[in-house]
Amino acid sequence: MSEIIEEAINSEDKKVDFSDDEILMDHRIEDLFYGHHPGLSLGRATSIFRSRGQLAYFLYINRVTKYLFVAIYMDWTILFRHPVNFFLLVIFFATSISLLFVAGIFIPIYTFYRYCTKSEREPVINVWGKIAKIPPPNRNLINDLMEGMKLLGNNTKRTIIKDEKKIGALGERENLKRVSKLKSLLFFSTLVYKRESKITYKIQGCVRKLKSKLKYDDIGDQKVYKKVYKKLCDCEKKENERDNNNDNNNNNNDNYNDDNIYTFEDIEHKIRDMIGKDEKKIKEQIKEFDLNFTSISELNTDDGGSFCGMFWSDKENFIIIAFKGTTPTNFAEWLGNLTFQCVDARNYLFGQVHRGFYNYLFPLDEESAGKNYPCQKIIESINCKATTLKNMNGRKVNLWITGHSLGGALATLFYARLLNINYTHESWELQGAITFASPAVGDINFSTQLAALINDPRNLAKPLWRIVLNDDIVPKMPYRACNKRMRKYGYHYNVLMNYAQVGDKVTFYGNDHDPTSIKEFFSNESDKDDNIGEHVNRLKSYCKNYCKKKKSKPLGIFRHRHGSNSYFKALIDYEKKIGKK
């Protein structure tokens, strides 16, 4: 009898896992077909410029010109009300056009260099091991990251200690735990850069063909189905040859025959077989951590570039939503991010938001989109996986949101969406968002309204922390017409380039300098108490760090650290300093 019950339980578990995989795959297929990113398109010219990023430069000039023209057409008085701001804006765009022209020449050279550099193809653990000067096989680093992942999955309450002698030591241990959390989240933000895009790009091309060529004509549609199916089979064959995997059981290239009749269902089945093959490098690098990964949205892109991935741990009971940043060699992607045009975001968020960032998550045509837009698909995928994990572990799943660079900007928008609709679910609990090197994503209206939501007592347990390096220029972008100190002298909300950062900033300086943050992300105390001496010491420490921040080197502007490896180096430097105390 017990054996029968055990078999029933096992079969039920398999059923749950299977349905979970199928539902996630359904969401992903729908995301591919419903997704549409206008990018830098100009009607039929899109097919020309999609594969030639350098030629998209002219589309960028067209968009900038259109942006300035519309700004003057809608409110010509801006030339007289804000002449200096408008002049600086024109100079800014003219400079960016010149710099991007030079960048368009050197990016192919840089692409070839990256392709020939072995370190670019190295696993993240190996690269970070060299930075931390840990000899292979990097067990200490792996164990450290695993410890950080345990902290991401466990809700441990901080201990209140009144003994002054013990407060300092316990506070340093708490800081080490926070560094471990940051390193783990940075690890996830870096891993998503390792996904390849060849197969995904081919699949997206086939989807575009289906969406543009099908005309409800049986004979004509059958020709389209054959061409698309053959293209998918050829792509799969090349991939298997590259991997020396011609004996793979999933290889169905021999099934293609010109005499066969293919249907839409055949194409969808082939896409399901191929769609996860670009993720092999990521899955290989997370084997030692007992983690799982899947891409859940292509974020309205059509080039296999930016996407949203989901990591989860059955054992530690957490889900990480990681957004991939800009590909360094994707020139067209850089052009889209550097347009800096705003769009009214009040249908889904608040205020005005960077058009390029907004298009990744939300539709411009709300009437035809319905619920089939990336942000909603990401939420549905989280609900699906969290329900499975809760059924396995019996408790709510911890949800974290993260990303580096552009990924940090998208993580901020997704986090803002969850707070704006006060979204909750019985299977998961939002723990907060931690971004690295994120640029500003919206105007002052967006910033102030999101800050109000973050400071709401109901949301204090799910903060937004923005990790930046002092000499990283990206978090200082886009160009701001007025900073916070200037706004008290008669600030108008319709000023062009009205961007403002949001979230609690934690600034790292590297070497022996302590990081600074207004809300004490790193503290020398185990918890807040009434100890006057510790309170004074905390204020004194903040003043010292503030002075260090102000005393920057004259040529510091020429230094620039932006990559995730630079952020890891800053975390390691601070961790070593804590360890010496």
Q: What is the pLDDT of residues 207-243, one digit of tens each?
A: 888 888 877 766 777 888 888 888 888 888 888 777 7
Residue 538 predicted with pLDDT over 70:
no
The DSSP secondary-structure symbol of 317 reads: T
pLDDT at 119: 58
User: What is the dotted CATH code of the domain comprising 43-122+180-194+281-533+560-580?
Assistant: 3.40.50.1820
* Two tokens, residue 133: 């000067």
Segment 121-137 mean pLDDT: 85
- The residues, any chain, with a CB within 8 Å of residue 200's CB and separated by 6 or more, are 275, 278, 295, 298, 304, 307
Most confident of 172-176, 223-227, 530-534: 223-227
User: Confidence class of residue 539 from pLDDT cuts 50, 70 and 90?
Assistant: low
Edge-to-edge strands, sheet with 504-508: 292-297, 308-313, 318-323, 397-404, 428-436, 464-469, 504-508, 516-517
- Residues 447 and 484 sit within 8 Å (Cβ to Cβ): no
Segment 19-40 mean pLDDT: 77
Distance in angstroms (rounded) separating the CA atoms of residues 517 and 540: 14
Strands, E assignment, 437-475: 442-443, 464-469
**30 vs 80: which has the higher pLDDT:** 30
pLDDT at 156: 54
Residue 188 predicted with pLDDT over 50:
yes
Residues of the chain with CATH 3.40.50.1820: 43-122+180-194+281-533+560-580
- Residues 220 and 226 sit within 8 Å (Cβ to Cβ): no
Residue 398 predicted with pLDDT over 90:
yes
Phi and psi at residue 573, to the nearest 5° = -60, -45
Q: What is the pLDDT of residues 457-476, one digit of tens each?
A: 988 889 999 999 988 888 88
pTM score of the predicted model: 0.83
- Find, among 67, 82, 10, the residue nearest to 490 by Cα: 82
pLDDT at 467: 93
Residue 492 predicted with pLDDT over 90:
no
User: Confidence class of residue 87 from pLDDT cuts 50, 70 and 90?
Assistant: confident
Strands, E assignment, 335-463: 342-344, 352-354, 397-404, 428-436, 442-443
Cβ of 220: how many Cβ atoms within 10 Å? Answer: 12
Least confident of 20-34, 152-166, 492-506: 152-166
Residue 364 predicted with pLDDT over 80:
no
Buried b (16+ CB within 10 A) or exposed e, 2-23: eeeeeeeeeeeeeeeeeebeeb
Q: Which residue has the tokens 């102000």?
A: 550
* Two tokens, residue 12: 């039920």
Residue 314 predicted with pLDDT over 70:
yes
pLDDT at 158: 46
- Residues 159 and 173 sit within 8 Å (Cβ to Cβ): no
Instruction: Identify residue 186 by its one-letter amino acid code.
Output: L
Strands, E assignment, 197-323: 292-297, 308-313, 318-323
- Find, among 438, 441, 442, the residue nearest to 466 by Cα: 438
- Residues 484 and 499 sit within 8 Å (Cβ to Cβ): no
- The rounded mean pLDDT for the chain is 77
* Two tokens, residue 358: 């907004």
- The terminus-to-terminus CA distance of the chain in angstroms comes to 61
- The residues, any chain, with a CB within 8 Å of residue 167's CB and separated by 6 or more, are 161, 524, 525, 526, 531, 534
Most confident of 305-314, 479-488, 567-576: 305-314
User: Confidence class of residue 535 from pLDDT cuts 50, 70 and 90?
Assistant: low
* Two tokens, residue 112: 């070839």
- Residues 381 and 31 sit within 8 Å (Cβ to Cβ): no
Segment 152-166 mean pLDDT: 54
Q: Which residue has the tokens 């309450």?
A: 157
Residue 491 predicted with pLDDT over 50:
no
**404 vs 250: which has the higher pLDDT:** 404
Distance in angstroms (rounded) separating the CA atoms of residues 521 and 538: 12
User: Confidence class of residue 54 from pLDDT cuts 50, 70 and 90?
Assistant: low
